[in-house]
Structure 1
């Protein structure tokens, strides 16, 4: 009897040791993959720092490299707060999917149901813009409102961040709705894919209307509290705001201003830490969550193999069906990839913004993916 108990105890110790060793080995491999690719990434011109997060099979791995401020030797960390730009749209998409499931809205609803005033211009040949059109970027609305913002980031001059800030300072929700009444829709909604921040901000207005709550209240209720993503907000408290990164535009030696987000913030106003992002990845990989399943439904084919779901870019290739989105501001850029087939998510964030940055981020994430799958 004693020998039997001793054998069982030894078996448990050996088994636990083996499991612990395998977990450590897996962590070491993933950490090595992150470090190798991050070091290559920050060697690129104008890149100063990078934060990389990987969620794999229930485990989270985060690493940080470089400097937040040039010459200060202050690398980012798990508490560093970033503007995640248009990755905010996927969070907005989650709120829309929830509203659809709760039957507060329907995808084919004429958006004018939720607006005060006639807005007779928000249709083409009697076909109105629908909720579906807004969340798939097929509404025909411009990239930006105010109109002066359109084309601003194509100039690539050093003054762009401050010019953008000046336009934000002079704008408001009231002016947005006034400008919306002067938009001209030149094609049947649902026909053409035309990426639109204006359309996503309009979704924010609709969400506030149907829930009678602000977007930050909805974020707190549905993310910050429920899924432990405390920084996933548009308006930060004073403590969080001190941790918010100001990054660099192009080859500038001075930091760009953070966005003001005078509208609803649903197009690109959310801030997050890399840990918040990993919590969000875990949520996105929960296929038992009906809101996630709804938000991942492909609603419009841009071109094979790219479809659009509730703002998500849905991609089909040898890695299965995956979901991704890029986000950028005047000082930060990031890319988020979700691979359900491998129970995997990759987030990569840098405090530099320029026309080459999205491609650098995407290539780095793809290299990490290939190495993770190989291992």
Structure 2
């Protein structure tokens, strides 16, 4: 065969192969739905009694999928109620942002200014007092919890302890606590600190924290399913999950208060993500980075922050109750939000949800890019 003809055929074959590969790549890129569903199906891996739900907000579009079965045999849907755990903290941070706008609080002010009485001389160390910024970034020096110790948890006394622990008990402990580090110096995750923020907000507004969340957030976002303490009937509707070993776990929302007491559903959290992607001034304040390390990881108003592949800020928070795990990520510049929740709280459940969220975001970016090139 003539060499030039052979070269021509080779070039044509190479172009055809490249076109075929590009076509396959484009097909994969636009297959956002099937890729996302595959991740969720693989996650539950046919485990009986395990369910997983996801909501993805992409500008005006939303994608919501549910897989698996709950312990009662039902399939989850947009109205299935879950404990949110620490996702509650982002609501608390947003109320703080609103309070700043309204001149009720200041980030750098001594928090004792907002507490009644002069019984908190212990809330400072090395002449450094605690501020709201310290509480919002878990650098106050306050301990993780008051009601229970690690020994209580290991010996199975956790629920007995928290069921008897009251607001009065909390403030008694607050008067006696010794700070573990100078405020502003070290990171120490503190539910004690987050609940203190809730009590401070109640003090400055003279309203229950539950009402503040309703007035400042859920009435604006349209979240009908996001609530704190529920009636006995409503409590029976909250999904009961397991600890990862198949052991059914009790609910603990009411005790966790501003630190983790909210329950909600996919429909409501979808509305919350849309609110977090809005241009409301309090949202912008709550996304402000209050502290950042040399690695680029930081913290906002109870959000953790990092940067995506485009060097744009991503905000995230994980939530865990005794039997539920969740993940929430917000990409403000991309106008994207991702929420995943499952009725299992195993040792590695939350890290798995984070991995899924990252993959779903990549699938969505590839889909958006392919859609623009096809247009």
Report the TM-score range of the alignment, normalised by the length of the smaller protein: 0.7 to 0.9
Structure 1 residues 347 and 217, CA, compared in 2 at 3 Å: closer, same or farther?
A: same
CA contact (8 A) 1:121 1:185 kept: yes
The alignment status of 1:337 with 2:337, answered yes or no, reads no
How much does 1:145 deviate?
1.4
Structure 1 residues 196 and 46, CA, compared in 2 at 3 Å: closer, same or farther?
A: farther
Q: Which residue of 1 aligns with 2:57?
A: 55
> Which one has a larger percent helix, Structure 1 or Structure 2?
2
Q: Which residue of 1 aligns with 2:83?
A: 83
SS state at 1:326 partner: strand
1: CA distance, partners of 2:301 / 2:52: 28
Q: Which residue of 2 aligns with 1:304?
A: 295
Residue among 208, 213, 217 paired with 1:219: 213
SS state at 1:216 partner: helix
How much does 1:230 deviate?
1.2
Q: If the length of structure 1 is used for normalisation, what is the TM-score?
A: 0.85
Q: Which residue of 1 aligns with 2:107?
A: 107
**Structure 1 gap segments, 5+ residues each:** 1-24
How much does 1:262 deviate?
3.5
The alignment status of 1:39 with 2:35, answered yes or no, reads no
- Give the 5 Å matches for 1:224-303: 224-237=218-231, 240-253=234-247, 255-262=248-255, 265-286=257-278, 288-303=279-294
How much does 1:174 deviate?
0.5
1: CA distance, partners of 2:277 / 2:197: 24
2: CA distance, partners of 1:206 / 1:352: 33
Residue among 338, 356, 361 paired with 1:364: 356
Structure 1 residues 186 and 168, CA, compared in 2 at 3 Å: closer, same or farther?
A: closer
Structure 1 residues 240 and 58, CA, compared in 2 at 3 Å: closer, same or farther?
A: farther
Task: Find the structure with the greater CA-based Rg.
Answer: 2
2: CA distance, partners of 1:47 / 1:190: 44
Structure 1 residues 107 and 151, CA, compared in 2 at 3 Å: closer, same or farther?
A: farther
1: CA distance, partners of 2:344 / 2:123: 37
Structure 1 residues 58 and 151, CA, compared in 2 at 3 Å: closer, same or farther?
A: farther
2: CA distance, partners of 1:250 / 1:275: 26
**Structure 2 gap segments, 5+ residues each:** 1-26, 368-375
CA contact (8 A) 1:332 1:349 kept: yes
How much does 1:44 deviate?
7.9
The alignment status of 1:169 with 2:170, answered yes or no, reads no
Deviates more, 1:201-210 or 1:212-221: 212-221
2: CA distance, partners of 1:302 / 1:116: 35
- Give the 5 Å matches for 1:64-213: 64-69=66-71, 72-117=72-117, 118-146=119-147, 148-150=148-150, 155=154, 160=156, 163-213=157-207
CA contact (8 A) 2:125 2:181 kept: yes
1: CA distance, partners of 2:296 / 2:196: 28
Residues 140-168 of structure 1, C-alpha deviations (whole Å, 9 max, x = no match): 0001112x344666x4xxx75xx322111
1: CA distance, partners of 2:267 / 2:234: 14
Residues 308-358 of structure 1, C-alpha deviations (whole Å, 9 max, x = no match): 111111112314111000010100010001112321111000000021111
Structure 1 residues 258 and 186, CA, compared in 2 at 3 Å: closer, same or farther?
A: closer
SS state at 2:56 partner: strand
